[in-house]
Amino acid sequence: MKKLLQKRVLIPLLALSIFFGGTAFKSDFFEIAKQIEIFTTLFKELNMNYVDETNPGDLMDTAIKSMLKDLDPYTNYYNEQDVEASRINNAGDYTGIGANVLTLKEKLVIVEPYKDYAADKAGLKAGDEIIKVDNVIVADFKDDAGNLLQGAAGTSVTVTYIRQGKTETTTIQRESVDIHAVPHFSMVNDNTGYIVLRKFNEKTSAETISALRALKNQGAEKLILDLRGNPGGLLREAVNVTNIFVPKNQLVVTTKSKVKKYNKTYYTSKEPIDTEIPLVVLIDGRSASASEIVSGALQDLDRAVVVGARSFGKGLVQRPKKLTYGTQMKITISRYYTPSGRCIQALDYWNRDDNGKATRVKQENYNAFKTKKGRTVYDGGGVQPDLELDATKLSTITKAIINENLIFKYATTYYYKNNIVDLDNFKLTNSDFNDFKKFLSANNFSFETQTEKAFANALSIAKEEQLNNEIHTEYSNLVSTLNAYKSKAIEDNKTQLLSLLSDEIVKRYFYREGLYTYYITHNFEIQKGVEILKNPSNYLSYLD
């Protein structure tokens, strides 16, 4: 009895020592200690008494992930392998096969081999489906199979993959891979430079400064900074990149939290490189987090004209916390606010709809803020560009096609049927687009609109109320109209779809480096940026 009492007292005391130091937890201390004791007791009894053998590690992993799933998608638990992967992502280099790989349940798909790295030298191509790594069958591997490809530089890994229905095997010698934050910079014309910023890791600001100086030496008097598709990364590097273009001691971002110590203001701390060069920043719906800090700050400070589509809307800040046995968790600790005071978080994960999905802030609930010069900007849904381009904003049907990887898959099919040698003159034709539409049909592409879902729900209710016979004809007509709309929607989005197809196809032949070269003369957003910068009065009109 005495030992049992000691156990019951020990766990709450342990919880007290862990949580007492944090003011945010003081009021919840008893409830936290109580729930820890309940869970510890349950976990012990389950593993000791369950009818079959249990794996405590797997059970705990499931418990943790299930608990975090009800919060936001950025609060995550990392085992030892995940911690290393996170370090790689932030540091910008790692050892592996040198390819972007999509992990599916039964296979690993090569999304993009990096030019002249291990996978490329071994002959792997985008679209190859890896089904076996050494002696491990991917479909049988319970953890992230992508980890099987990583290893020490100089070691070898044998992969079995499927290409166009044929099974092949190759051996890849792993090597160090340097992931550049700035994968490309060049001159668009005689006086306009172009810098692509792909991610925010520890090298981002240094690489951006080097690129800017190189372009200025080549005669750049104007600049386009491309943040499209940039998912973000390190907050401090977002501040440092902003600092390149704005003076020292300028507020860039503020973080606000329920925990007082996380309430911080971030100012530029260095002398800038150029506060005068006319600047256009390109963003799209995949520009998130640190990308939004940079674009939002430069917009609020009237330092750049932002062009493209509304950004993703991730206004949440995470911080890694070390746990025991080499594990970590990343916790959302605060929201960030741009210099004008706006938070651009788009999704509300704490007030979900009836289906459990995060709700989006409605436009009528956006709040207005003022830039440094008094221009009106809004919160609530990502950074809204000064010039919104319809071509940049993905339509509903385009998103559906992308989500089913059909642009990627068509590019793979196209690559093995065609030979492109002249990048400058490459252009998809009407015949190619018709072929793509046939490809969609052959792959049973279909998508359900929100309107269809609402109609189907209404019909279900009508059946319950025995009204379905009364509305059957009208319902059939509505469905027919919607189907006609969806068929027409593909044609209506022809320009956007051809642009996305062209980008993916160009990468197959000329790698990402070739894609950026192709952009210079073919990309609509870059051309619009050049047009804005060409006329000083036009450029300034966006900032006044």
The residues carrying an active-site annotation are: 289, 300, 314
Evaluate whether 418 touches 340 at the Cβ level (below 8 Å): no
Could you tell me which of 317, 315, 364 has the C-alpha nearest to residue 342?
315
Q: Say how far apart CA 286 and CA 229 lie, in whole Å.
A: 5
Terminal-residue alpha carbon distance, the chain = 77
Evaluate whether 278 touches 216 at the Cβ level (below 8 Å): no
Q: Which letter does DSSP use for residue 357 in this model?
A: P
Q: Where are the beta strands (DSSP E) in 212-315?
A: 222-226, 251-256, 264-267, 279-283, 305-308
Q: Which letter does DSSP use for residue 363 in this model?
A: G
Q: Say how far apart CA 137 and CA 216 lie, in whole Å.
A: 51
Element at 139 (helix H, strand E): none
Report the alpha-carbon angle 18-22-24, nearest 5.
125
Q: Crossing angle for the helix pair 494-522 and 430-442, nearest 10 degrees? A: 130
Q: Say how far apart CA 35 and CA 40 lie, in whole Å.
A: 8
Evaluate whether 68 touches 77 at the Cβ level (below 8 Å): yes
Q: Which residues of 435-445 are buried (b: 16+ CB within 10 A; e: fewer)?
A: ebeebbeeeeb
Residue keyed to tokens 């980890």: 147
Q: Say how far apart CA 459 and CA 482 lie, in whole Å.
A: 15
Distance of CA 263 to the CA centre of its chain: 26
Q: Which residues are 266's β-sheet partners?
A: 253
Q: What is the CA radius of gyration of the chain?
A: 26
Q: Which residues of 244-280 are buried (b: 16+ CB within 10 A; e: fewer)?
A: bbbeeebbbbbbebeeeeeeeebebeeeeeeeebbbb
135, exposed or middle or buried, with CB in 10 Å at 0-12, 13-18, 19+?
A: exposed
Q: Crossing angle for the helix pair 468-492 and 494-522, nearest 10 degrees? A: 20
How many CA atoms, within 13 angstroms, populate the side-chain half-sphere of residue 48? Answer: 6
